[in-house]
Every structure is written in C-alpha cells, then in structure tokens.
Structure 1
Amino acid sequence: MATTKSSISVPLSYEALELTHVKLSHHPHGVPNATPVVVITLNRPEKHNAFTPQMANSLECTFRMIHFDNRVKVVVLTGAGRMFCAGSDLDIGFGDGKGRAVDFRDIGGRVALAMHRCHKPTIVALQGAAVGVGMTMTLPAAIRICHEQSKYGFVFTQRGLTIESCASYFLPRLVGFSRAMHLIATGGVFPPTPKYFGDLFTEALPDAVQVLPRALEMAQEMAETTSPLASAMSRALMWEGPRSPEAAHLLESRVFHHIMGEQDYREGVNSFLEKRKPQFKTNPQENGPPGYPWWFPVDVQLGLPLSKSNL
C-alpha cells in the first residue's frame, strides 16, 4: 500500500528528530525550522557508517517525511567521517535465510524505494569510499558527487551475495549493461573513473572536503531555480516511461499539456523575462497530471498473499 500523508507526521524541525545512526540538519545552518535543502548524514563514523536495520529505518522514515514536506526542495545525503559507507555491518549480518521468502524485504531496497518515490531529488555527496549497499542505495538519486581518490564497488559476489537495493533495475540503466555486468561479476573496488563507472558520478573532486560543499552548492541552486512539480514529473517520465518513442511522445504530450496550465509554468516564464529568481509553489502531490502515476505501482508492503509471482 502506498504511503499516505495521513500516516506521516512532518516535523517542524528535522534537527530536533532523534534517529538512530542518522543525523539530520538544515542548510544553511542556524535556521530553526525546515529549509529548502535538508542534509541527511549517515552517522556511524566509528564503524565507517556500516549499514544497519536501524539506519535503514531512519532513512526510510526521513525520505517519507520529506516527500510530503512542501518546505523541502532538495535532499543531500552524505556520510560522517572518512568513508561514505562501508556496506552492511557484517557483525550484524543479514539473517539465516529461514522463514518465507515472500515475507522478506531487503533493508537496502526499502531505502532505495523510499528515495525513488520521494518527489524531492537527492544529491549524494560520497565524501569517501563506498561499497555494497553503500553504493546500491545511492542509485535512485538524481546526482552523485564523489572523491576521486576514494574507491567504490559493488562487492556482493565477493561476499557470496546477490545484489539488492533494486540495483538490478537501476544500475544497468545508469551505466549500461556491459559496465554493470563487469562491476557485479568481478565484485571489484575501483577508482571513480568512466572506465569502470561510466558517468555514474557527475563530478569527482580531488579533495574529500570539497565534496559536501559542492553538493550543497548544487542543491541550493536547484532549490532556488527549479520547479518541484516539473522536476518530479520529468524524473518519473524517465524512470517510469514507455518503451517506444511513439508511446513516450503521447505520454510526454499529455503531461506537458497539464504542466502548461499550472502556476509554475507561468512563474518560470515570467521570472525569466523579468530576470529574477522564480518563486515556484506548485505541490507535486496535489498538482500532478490526471492519471498520475501512469504506471502500475507495485505494493511491496508485507502481508501480500503467497503466490509464485511473489517469490
């Protein structure tokens, strides 16, 4: 079942929330209530931000809140300390494989779907190395910025595991099937160069301390200059679009026609002609086009009836 606003409590201040293994902050600093840019920090530096079920719960909860919060326009996700994320905490493990497969949901996938479903774009600032779920959970983000001297990898096969966090969907679409196959088949850890990752990383910066400030700079610009409605619908058109150019044309035309009748379009044109920053106010939850979502969302909540298609 899809998350509804009635089931989510949006806080006055994200900094006041007490979440396990995750820290939330406003940007710029010193603002008491939610700002257009909210920073999510993986906060287990003593464990290199190794991923835990509690961290997954905190991230999933945060993305769901931000999805419904009209004050927030862009999310920045980063890590505390010298690594972005060392993958899952192997001291905790993944379970013993007992019970029904239909009742299992990988925790990285829950986070990836929460990020993907959030109408607000995410910029990931990988200020240090990342492996395993530390990489796969970033794939639904709009932008990834990294440190060029750090290394990154999808190490699952070297741990006797398969990929998760919806990576089988996102990774080949982002880097191509050939590179995705190489990354997964080798399970290797590599520098963030196009040879291995294509253009998965928008920017690779020479100094680790440059990564988060650059992500915040980009997030602030996006928050000030892009329409939340146009951004959310454009990303949905790419991720959930038809498979033929003709069908894409028909869908894009229908969505474009709807957007032309919205306030954000008039504001975008007027602000450009008047040489000022736009003041976009249209809410993606309330002003989406008729028939949105145009795809068939799959219910991934527990409690589905047991059938072969659910295994």
Structure 2
Amino acid sequence: MIFDPSAIELPPSYEKIQTTGHVVVSHYPPGTPTVTPVVVVTLNRPANQNAFTGQMVQDFEKIFPMFDVDERVKVIVLTGAGKTFCAGADLDIGFRAGKERMIDHRDGGGRVALAIHRCRKPTIAAMQGSAVGVGMTMTLPAIIRIAYEKGKYGFVFARRGITMESCSSYFLPRLVGYSNASYLVSTGGVFPPSSKHFGDLFNEILPDSAQVLPRALELATEIAENVSPTSSYLNRALMWRDTGSAESAHLVESHVIYHMFGAPDQKEGVTAFFEKRKPNFRANLDDNPPPNVPWWTEVDTGRNPKAKLPSKL
C-alpha cells in the first residue's frame, strides 16, 4: 500500500523561509509582506560564480514542491546573483563517489531538474551571465530561457571527464535537436548564446546583462496575469509526456479538452475576453483535474503532497 506523504505547510512569506543560504527566495516586488504571484529564486554564491553545491539541491527540493501546491504562486523566475548565472559544479568540492551503492545514487543536478520539471508552476530562467555544465542543464525544464548576449554557455562535461546529468540526455535533444545536442556535448565547447548550435534554446538574447532579470519578470507578470495555471500545466504535460503517436496524442488531447470545456477557468477566460478585462483564474490544480491525468506512467511510486495552509495567510 502506498501512503500519502505529509502535507506541505505553506509559509506566509517566502522571503522568511529558511534555506541553506546558497539559494534565496524573494517576492516580486521584493519586500511584499505576503506571497506574490511571481517569486524569484536566486543562486546566491556570487563570490564562487554561483557554482553548484549539494546545499542548492536541498533548497530546490524544499521550495519547488511548495510552489507546486501553493495556489498563490503562478510563475517562478530563476536567476543568479552577480555577473555569472552558474559556473557549473563547484570543482573545489569536486566529484565524489564510493559513499553509497551505485544503484542508490541520485544525481544532484537531476534532482534539481526534476524539482523544476515536476512543479506545475512554470519557471523562467533569467541567465544574466555565463553558464556551463549543471548551470545549463538545470534550466532545461524551464519554459523560457533569457540569455546575456556576451555570456558564454556550454555543456562541458566531456572536458571534465564526466557525462551528461540533470536529465539533460532527455531534455537537450528535444529542445535543440539531436544533431545540435551531439555537437554541444561532444565538443564540450562554450559558445555565445547566438551560436547556431543552440538552435532556439534561448528564447531571447539581450545586449545588457542588467536587462535580463527585468525582462524575465515582465514575462512572468504577463503570464501570471493572463494565463490559466491549469491550462498552462496541462499544455506542457501534453508536449512533454509524449504519447508516442499522433493518434494517441489525439485521444489524450480530446479527453483533456473535453473536460476543460466545462471547467471554471474556461468560463472565466471567455467571459474576461468578452468583457475586455484581465481574467481571474481561480481553479486549484488539485481540484477537478481531467480524469485521464496522469495519462503517463508515473516513475515515482509515491503520491504528490498536498498543501497544508497556515492558520493565517
């Protein structure tokens, strides 16, 4: 028998939750006393070029499940403190093996990527500076990546004597194509974001690093104010949770959209359109989902936790 996990207790403010310090969370606008629709997650080791650590894994696995079940949060923006987004794994700490059985090991970067991927709220990566290795792969589950024109970006694993991680063997070829992915990981080179080898990986490339985060926040606000979180999540799931054929996709899509035709968000979206106002989407992602969700086979045999609201929000 599979038991339900303990409910997640949601904080009155994300700016006051305790993290390891390697990652910090802020509201947008910052300093807002209660939770805002857009929250900002910042890699916070600027003196170390935000090099990736085990503490970051702990923080991501703590906060993203919160975002997933917190209906106050609509969009997450991921960025870095200082001039570098993320310099990859912290080589001063190094790569360690032998402390656990190989079968029990779970790659830290992959745990971060899955925390982002499994979160039903979308993430926008504001890559205000260079990124390599896990600094690149952790952004692959994001819905949008914004880069700095003069930054350098690359998948350098082969040059460090290691292999792909953070579920990148799944995400990267699907995002840039197998030919580009093969070139990027085989050369292990770093390139400007405009390089043809990245394909359309970067949705926007800006000339000034100071423009990257504001642009990400602008996009996040637009999404938070105009898009149904339920529809957004289901649209991403329809693309990523591949059914394997056009016919199977047709069946899944038919069932999902038929359910959505009568859902509150559909009624609100149409009403707001005719009334020429912003919609007020209020459907809870855990309430009344399409009956065929999940249509995919869950690898994790545990159930997702629900939100445990504090007495006063």
| Category of TM-score, reference length = shorter chain | over 0.9
Q: Contact between 2:40 and 2:77, CA under 8 Å: does it hold in 1? A: yes
Secondary structure of residue in 1 paired with 2:85: strand
Deviations 1:138-178 (A, max 9, x none): 00000000101101000000000000000000000000000
Alpha-carbon distance in 2 for matches of 1:5, 1:32: 29
Matched letter for residue 275 of structure 2: E
Alpha-carbon distance in 1 for matches of 2:190, 2:262: 48
Q: Which residue in the other structure is 2:310 paired with? A: none
Alpha-carbon distance in 1 for matches of 2:163, 2:217: 33
Q: Contact between 1:2 and 1:299, CA under 8 Å: does it hold in 2? A: no
Q: Which residue in the other structure is 1:220 paired with? A: 221
Secondary structure of residue in 2 paired with 1:78: strand
Select between 55-64 and 38-47 the one with higher mean Cα deviation: 55-64
Alpha-carbon distance in 2 for matches of 1:163, 1:288: 35
Q: TM-score, normalised by structure 1?
A: 0.94
Q: Which residue in the other structure is 2:184 paired with? A: 183
Q: Does 1:258 align with 2:259?
A: yes
Select between 291-300 and 200-209 the one with higher mean Cα deviation: 291-300
Matched letter for residue 86 of structure 2: C
Matched letter for residue 82 of structure 1: K
Alpha-carbon distance in 2 for matches of 1:106, 1:2: 25
Q: Contact between 1:179 and 1:198, CA under 8 Å: does it hold in 2? A: yes
Secondary structure of residue in 2 paired with 1:84: coil
Q: Does 1:10 align with 2:10?
A: yes
Q: Which residue in the other structure is 1:291 paired with? A: 292
Matched letter for residue 200 of structure 2: D
Q: Which residue in the other structure is 1:83 paired with? A: 84
Q: Does 1:26 align with 2:27?
A: yes
Q: Contact between 1:5 and 1:68, CA under 8 Å: does it hold in 2? A: no
Alpha-carbon distance in 1 for matches of 2:7, 2:54: 21
Q: Contact between 2:43 and 2:80, CA under 8 Å: does it hold in 1? A: yes
Q: Which residue in the other structure is 2:134 paired with? A: 133
Alpha-carbon distance in 1 for matches of 2:262, 2:76: 27
1:92, distance to aligned residue in structure 2 (A): 1.1
Secondary structure of residue in 2 paired with 1:283: coil
Q: Contact between 1:229 and 1:287, CA under 8 Å: does it hold in 2? A: no
Q: Which residue in the other structure is 1:308 paired with? A: none
Unaligned 5+ segments in structure 1 are 302-311
Q: Which residue in the other structure is 1:73 paired with? A: 74
Deviations 1:267-287 (A, max 9, x none): 000100110000000111223
What is the number of residues matched between the two proteins? 301
Higher normalized contact order (CA 8 Å, seq sep 6+, divided by chain length): 2
Unaligned 5+ segments in structure 2 are 303-313
1:2, distance to aligned residue in structure 2 (A): 9.8
Specify whether residues 13 and 105 from structure 1 end up closer, same or farther in structure 2 by C-alpha distance, changes over 3 A only.
same
Secondary structure of residue in 2 paired with 1:35: coil
Alpha-carbon distance in 2 for matches of 1:69, 1:166: 25
Deviations 1:215-257 (A, max 9, x none): 0000000000000000000000000021111111110000000
Q: Contact between 1:84 and 1:129, CA under 8 Å: does it hold in 2? A: yes
1:61, distance to aligned residue in structure 2 (A): 1.1
Over aligned residue pairs, what C-alpha RMSD do you find?
1.6
Matched letter for residue 17 of structure 1: I
Q: Does 1:144 align with 2:145?
A: yes
Q: Which residue in the other structure is 1:304 paired with? A: none
1:97, distance to aligned residue in structure 2 (A): 3.9
Q: TM-score, normalised by structure 2?
A: 0.93
Q: Which residue in the other structure is 1:198 paired with? A: 199
Q: Which residue in the other structure is 2:308 paired with? A: none
Specify whether residues 97 and 163 from structure 1 end up closer, same or farther in structure 2 by C-alpha distance, changes over 3 A only.
farther
Q: Which residue in the other structure is 2:277 paired with? A: 276
Q: Which residue in the other structure is 1:63 paired with? A: 64
